[in-house]
Structure 1
Amino acid sequence: MTRPSPPPPLLLAEAAQHLSQTDRDALHDLYLRGTPDNTLRAYERDLVYVTAWKAAAFDAPLDWPEAENVALRFILDHARDLSDAPLTDPARITAETLIDAGLRRHLTCPAPSTLDRRIASWRAFHGMRNLANPFEAPLVRQARTKARRAAARPPAPKSARPITRDLLEDLLATSGPGHRGLRDRALLLTGWASGGRRRSELTGLHRADIDLDDFEKSGVVWIRLIETKTTTRGDTPRLVLKGRAARALVAWIDAGKITNGPLFRAISKSDRVLKRGLAPEAVAHILRRLLVAAGYASDHASPHGLRSGFLTQAALDGAPIQAAMRLSLHRSVSQAQRYYDDVDITENPATDLLD
């Protein structure tokens, strides 16, 4: 049975005042569509941001459709580093207003991907209302292209280092006893061995998503993800968990007496399993704690390292990229290939074919 979508998260308190009732209604309508939860949260943040930006830049609410000059000004305001701009520069004044509101971090030029995402959200809001999109105007499109090229930068890795097998073993060795240790081992092993799951995918799992029917006979656990960043609700294939990872997950389920509800749960100070599921941010906290316990810096790796580590290890072990992608659920071979390309050429199994 498919779980219902979670209720819409609350708007940022400091920015909610900028939203008109029309915008609130439009935002609510997004939750009635079959849109992934992560996308909905991005829509919400972007709507709050662009609404606050126009209020600061033009002292006016959003218009539907928005004027082309407003769309152009939005691009120009986000296409340069404002750190050295005069204090009277309108773009700098607007940016400082957003920083004070907690909606922008600094005056430096945002990443092109951030600008692209906010524009894509703004476009979606126009499409939702069946209105013309100001970002399709020739001058605005050209400015956006130039801004993207001017701010181009090498893509930064989402994790400082991939969590390959050796690092994973170090983390598991420090996970400790009790329910907390069982949960942490099951969380890491499930996230890594099932293809490098994102933290939202791990914390979104429920007991009903885990099929243990084949475990006693073959040691296999089946996992059903409701949806992922690259798949839609109902179209995500089942994933398989075997060996140590399957045993660790079953041990956690048995010890925690988890018969329904969230799979990975909070643990009390007295090592009691609570009914409350983990938030995605908790995965990062757990990983930092284990890294420090294992003798690494707390920022040595991030939760995305489970995903990059799985693919990197697959490359090191000579697993075909297509086989790895069946678990990682990457849609693009070129994206998955990046992890294979990052493997040191001396570690490539193909270099040992003769010997």
Structure 2
Amino acid sequence: MVEAAVVLPEQVRTALRQGVRSVLVDTAALRLVRERFDDNQAGALRRYLEASQSANTLRAYRTDWVAWAGWCAVEQRQALPADPLDLAVYLAACADARREDGSWAFSPATLDRKSAAVAAVHAANGLPSPTRSDVVRLTLRGIRRTRRTPPTRKRPVLLHTLDQLLAELPAPAWPTEPARRRDALALLVGFAGALRRSELAGLRISDVHVRTDHTTGEPLLVVHLPTTKTDPTGIAEQRIALPRGKHPRTCPICAFADWVRLLEVDGGLRAWLADNPVTDPTIHRCHGFTGTALAADENRPLFPTINRHGTIGTAALSGRAVAELVKRYAARAGLDPDLFSGHSLRAGFATQAALGGASDREIMRQGRWSNPRTVHGYIRTANPLEDNAVTKLGL
């Protein structure tokens, strides 16, 4: 997104549209590496350095850095190393910027991220950060005090909302059947697993293991999350359990069985669908399901791309595509898509679980929250009178 606070030079606009390489890697140092080591060794170093930050962080920092550099070019200032006063003036200009509809162009949280991006680039180049100066810190504090607006929260997908989204799945016919099965599974796993959009997009078929629920004898899905936002290295080996749904339509295991059976077809998918029509959706399809041989391929995405001709790709959906998927079905259901995002599934789990009487400990376990205050926020949203002394006043 091009900055609304300043008019950027055309070359900066082009860089924003095309994207640039990592801003957190010291390219000058890498040139010295290439002088001492071969290209393969230098390339490996760069690859792992770039992998030290998440793709979303790098994307945001790239945009923020290019915009800051563009402002400096317009104002004839130096971007690196930056003068703290210049950075404070830039942040103040961004804080005053408005969109065409009159709303603020940037939230205080976005301005904090812009400051963090400048600090990260300075650190990557071995330079002291201008963000540590009093003028920058006090400017950001003043912006937060002046713009005391609550964070914008997306609407949670509750159980009745999930039913509305599932009702808008494509018809069980060619060429929409692959997308119908994939999207149903994405919505159900994202909701029941309280997954972030990046976690959902990053799942592989090999991450899903079929076990037996010893209390019912029915299959149980155990999903291993290789990495998460709070565990980017995967050292915690976080897992979530998805039991058999009460209703076939909202059963994650039925949706998984339907999807992998389609993926197991080796060619002639359209003919296979004609010979294997969709069974009665009111009957569970997961009974006796034991898994799929596709799990042997460790790199096969659980949620691949699908084009409008029904062709299943080899690349995984992006986190942004997951968010667009939720918005698309919300729009089809007659809901305002701007009120929903990929986070709506995760927020919906916590809110619906709180409405169902789940304790904060139970919600934290499935959602992998470490801060009880986060979960308490969802509980207060679901039932503001829960554990509230106002009910004891006798009014």
User: Shorter-chain TM-score: what band?
Assistant: 0.7 to 0.9
Distance 1:26 1:73 in 2: 26
Larger Rg: 2
Distance 1:16 1:164 in 2: 37
What are the equivalent positions in structure 2 for 1:188-337 lying under 5 Å apart? Answer: 188-195=187-194, 197-212=195-210, 214=212, 218-236=218-236, 237-243=238-244, 244-257=251-264, 258-259=294-295, 260=297, 261-299=300-338, 301-337=340-376
Matched, 1:51 2:47: no
Instruction: Tell me the SS of whatever aligns to 2:136.
Output: helix
The C-alpha deviation readout for 1:283-331, integer Å capped at 9, x for no partner, is: 2333334334434344453322111111100110111112112222223
Distance 1:115 1:209 in 2: 37
Distance 1:21 1:306 in 2: 32
Distance 1:13 1:225 in 2: 37
- How big is the shift at 1:81? 4.4
TM-score, structure 2 normalization: 0.69
TM-score, structure 1 normalization: 0.76
Change (3 A) 1:171 1:12: farther
What are the equivalent positions in structure 2 for 1:1-355 lying under 5 Å apart? Answer: 14-15=14-15, 26=26, 31-32=49-50, 34-58=52-76, 60-64=77-81, 66-81=82-97, 108=104, 110-157=106-153, 159=154, 161-175=155-169, 176-177=171-172, 178-195=177-194, 197-212=195-210, 214=212, 218-236=218-236, 237-243=238-244, 244-257=251-264, 258-259=294-295, 260=297, 261-299=300-338, 301-345=340-384
Distance 2:306 2:387 in 1: 41
- How big is the shift at 1:214? 4.7
Structure 1 stretch 324-333 or stretch 334-343: which is displaced more?
Answer: 324-333
Change (3 A) 1:253 1:150: same
- How big is the shift at 1:227? 1.9
Q: Structure 2 stretches of 5 or more lacking a match?
A: 1-10, 28-45, 245-250, 265-293
Change (3 A) 1:57 1:323: farther
Change (3 A) 1:327 1:37: farther
Distance 2:24 2:317 in 1: 28
Q: Structure 1 stretches of 5 or more lacking a match?
A: 1-10, 84-98, 100-104
Does the 8 Å CA contact 1:316/1:349 hold for their aligned counterparts? no
Does the 8 Å CA contact 2:20/2:62 hold for their aligned counterparts? no
Change (3 A) 1:50 1:255: same
- How big is the shift at 1:45? 2.2
- Residue identity matched to 2:242: L
**Percentage of matched positions with identical amino acids:** 28
Change (3 A) 1:61 1:239: same
Q: Aligned pairs, how many? A: 316
Does the 8 Å CA contact 1:267/1:274 hold for their aligned counterparts? yes
CA RMSD across the alignment: 3.5
Does the 8 Å CA contact 2:22/2:50 hold for their aligned counterparts? no
Instruction: Tell me the SS of whatever aligns to 1:62.
Output: coil
Does the 8 Å CA contact 2:209/2:222 hold for their aligned counterparts? yes
Distance 2:122 2:105 in 1: 26
Instruction: Tell me the SS of whatever aligns to 1:201.
Output: helix
Instruction: Tell me the SS of whatever aligns to 1:326.
Output: helix
Does the 8 Å CA contact 2:324/2:342 hold for their aligned counterparts? no
- How big is the shift at 1:349? 12
Distance 1:162 1:313 in 2: 9
